[in-house]
């Protein structure tokens, strides 16, 4: 049985596949955060659990001072290659390596579900300045759009489900912390152009695929390749992206 820590650590061995295969985030999500004041000129913005910097590279570096935190060395190495204009620090959400009141905005992409939420949110509150806010975002494969997407998703699900948070999990964790207003959220449908190799890298970058033994992993990748044969190489992969914005309302518990 592979436990949660082993799954989280598997990103370290699949960092290259992660960088090749994982999608970006839709511009509309960044615009929506911006409308909520996340990226005011002069703001300090932290990307927490930044991985290879898939979100960090989309943040407005001209207007804001950016920083990233990522616990895994191989992910940080990919980050440094892909996003050399942003400093990436070794650290975790439960022990953010910055002093109190360091940031106006903290964003977390595809990573909040890995955190020990009570400890991580206490840390986010500590590093946020009064008036700051927390943005959360997850891409999900939109299997409603085509049968081949359903088949690829079914292949991933046949192995294991990664522990992604639903709306309730996010809202109750924030409410339990007590320092955030009820979050606003939006859902964005979009597609990203990719190739068969890109989809295979995406599958390989999943924590639970990365933890399989090599033979099992090859069998999964072969089945996904077969599924994609009729689709060809000009793939528009459909995503449904859920985005949250939770402004800080109280400093009482700090
Ligand atoms: C699915 S990846 C997302 C990476 C990146 N944010 C993105 O959007 O592509 C999850 C990331 O969370 C990181 N992570 C897992 N547990 C963490 C923790 N407790 N604190 C900070 N980061 C963590 C992993 O190392 C991994 O890089």
How would you write the pLDDT of the chain (254 residues) with one tens digit per residue? 456 666 666 666 688 888 999 999 999 999 999 999 999 999 999 999 999 999 999 999 999 999 999 999 999 999 999 999 999 999 999 999 999 999 999 999 999 999 999 999 999 999 999 999 999 999 999 999 999 999 998 888 776 665 677 889 999 999 999 999 999 999 999 999 999 999 999 988 887 776 788 888 888 889 999 999 998 888 999 999 999 999 999 654 44
Domain range holding 24? 4-247
Q: What is the pLDDT of residue 253?
A: 45
Question: Does a structural domain hold residue 254?
Answer: no
Question: Does a structural domain hold residue 252?
Answer: no
Question: Does a structural domain hold residue 221?
Answer: yes
* Ligand 1 atom closest to 47 (CA): 6
CATH code, 77: 3.40.50.150
Question: Does a structural domain hold residue 253?
Answer: no
The C-alpha atoms of residue 93 and residue 70 are separated, in whole angstroms, by 9
Best residue among 8, 19, 49, 67 to mutate for probing ligand 1, ranked by most atoms within 8 Å of CB: 49
Question: Does the Cβ of 22 fall within 6 Å of ligand 1?
Answer: yes
Instruction: For residue 108, give both structure tokens.
Output: 């977390």
Q: What is the pLDDT of residue 236?
A: 95
Question: Does a structural domain hold residue 213?
Answer: yes
- The number of domains in the chain is 1
Question: Does a structural domain hold residue 175?
Answer: yes
Ligand 1 center–CA 70 separation, angstroms: 7
Question: Does a structural domain hold residue 124?
Answer: yes
* Ligand 1 atom closest to 55 (CA): 8
Q: What is the pLDDT of residue 1?
A: 43
């Amino acid at each position: 049985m592979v436990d949660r820590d082993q799954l989280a650590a598997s990103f370290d061995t699949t960092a290259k596949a992660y960088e090749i295969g994982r999608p970006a985030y839709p511009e509309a999500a960044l615009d929506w955060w911006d409308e909520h004041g996340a990226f005011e000129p002069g703001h300090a913005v932290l990307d927490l659990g930044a991985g290879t910097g898939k979100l960090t590279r989309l943040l407005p570096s001209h207007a804001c001072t950016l920083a990233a935190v990522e616990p895994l060395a191989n992910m940080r190495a990919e980050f440094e290659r892909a996003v050399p204009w942003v400093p990436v620090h070794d650290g975790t959400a439960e022990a953010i390596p910055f002093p109190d009141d360091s940031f106006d905005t903290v964003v977390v992409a595809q990573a909040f579900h890995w955190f020990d939420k009570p400890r991580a949110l206490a840390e986010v509150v500590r590093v946020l300045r009064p008036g700051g806010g927390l943005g959360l975002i997850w891409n999900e494969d939109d299997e409603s759009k085509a049968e081949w997407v359903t088949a690829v998703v079914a292949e991933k699900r046949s192995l294991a489900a990664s522990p992604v948070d639903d709306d309730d999990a996010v809202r109750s964790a924030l409410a339990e912390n007590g320092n955030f207003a009820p979050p606003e959220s939006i859902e964005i449908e979009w597609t990203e152009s990719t190739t068969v190799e890109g989809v295979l890298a995406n599958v390989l970058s999943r924590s639970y695929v990365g933890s399989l033994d090599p033979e099992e992993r090859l069998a999964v990748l072969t089945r996904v390749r077969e599924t994609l044969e009729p689709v060809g190489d000009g793939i528009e992969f459909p995503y449904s992206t859920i985005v949250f914005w939770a402004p800080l309302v109280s400093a009482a518990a700090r």
